Amino acid sequence: MEVAQLKDLEEDFGLAKRRYAELRRQKRIFNARNRIIGGDTEAWDVQVCDQKIKEATEKARQETFAAEMRQNDKIACISEDRERRDRKNLCKAINDFQQSFQKPESRREFDLSDPLALKKDLPARQSDNDAVSGMQKFMGEDLNFYQRKKFQEEQNRDWSLQQQREWKMARANQKCAEDLYLKTRLQFDETAKHLQNLESTTRKAACTAVKEFNKNQALESAEKKIQEKKQDQEDNLAEISNLLHGDLLSENPQQAASSFGPHRVVPDRWKGMSREQLEHIRLVQKQQVQEKLRLQEEERQRDMDWDRQRVQRARAALLLERQQQCQQRDLRRALDRNHLSLAKEQLSQKKYMKEICTNHLTEDYFAQFNTRSR
């Protein structure tokens, strides 16, 4: 049986810790939902924002369509209720008219289908009220035949006259409505014609004004071009005269003098430096070169001093690091010896505990065996 060393336990713990960290890293990297390494998060945020705006726009459009559909359904329901109510009122008006003006008693053939005709008949030949057999009196041979026929004719004439009056009244109403519609259409046509004429007149006036304005603009532009051309010619002649008689072409050295001091000149009029000025500039340049060489030598000496100090400090740090490594090595060896002694003590303690356990088990077994044998 091998003994678990403290170093082995630490290595196992470190290995398990690194394995767990690697698994978490792989889960973080290879998870397509939460991975942000190598991705453009700003672009993703913009896409998410655009998607939300698109969804909100689509939701608003759907809500608008739903509102329109609800409005259309409401209008359709109102129209259907109105149509049903109009149909109901029409049927009611027809029934009222039939109840009032088309009663069964007012029909011409009512006497043929009257359910109370037998009760109303009179059975006799002396009068229509006498009771006689059916072969003694036929339909249309009663005593009041001529009066009844005359009454029916008058009733038919009244019905015909009433229908003619109603027809004439309907024709008059229809003609009045047609005249009113024609009058309204003529009035609308006259209004539209008047508006069209007014629009045409306004358009012609606007076109005339635009033409006059464009004509005036063209004349002003032509006049302006002529004046500009004349002015350009005069400016060119004046410029040529000034150049011929000026200091620029005549190369007057006084023209480069500046009003800010004798040491400054006007760049666009300056013709160059004199010999004395050039020699002074060369002398100043030589002095600057010598000064620069001196500064470079001083900088080089300073860098050498710094390099020497840096090397000395690096050597001292290296010696100190080696000394610390030796001390750490000694401490690690002492710790290893301590761990080894502890492991040996633990092993001996485990062997002792194992022997004790074995002895107790043996004693218990023999005790149980003796008990069973008794």
Q: What pLDDT, on a 0 to 100 scale, did the predictor assign at position 215?
A: 87
Contact (Cβ atoms closer than 8 angstroms) between residue 266 and residue 256 = yes
Distances (CA, A) of 262 to 222, 250, 251, 258: 52, 22, 19, 7
**CA atoms of 122 and 124, how far apart (whole Å):** 6
Q: What pLDDT, on a 0 to 100 scale, did the predictor assign at position 1?
A: 44
Q: What pLDDT, on a 0 to 100 scale, did the predictor assign at position 152?
A: 86
Burial 16-55 (b: 16+ CB within 10 A, else e): eeeeeeeeeeeeeeeeeeeeeeeeeeeeeeeeeeeeeeee
**CA atoms of 114 and 119, how far apart (whole Å):** 10
Identify the segments of the chain with pLDDT beneath 50: 1
Cα angle 221-225-229, degrees, rounded to a multiple of 5: 175
Answering whether pTM is above 0.85, one says: no
**Sign of the CA dihedral running 259, 264, 268, 269:** positive
Contact (Cβ atoms closer than 8 angstroms) between residue 122 and residue 130 = yes
Query: Alpha-carbon dihedral of residues 71, 74, 79, 82, nearest 10 degrees?
Result: -140
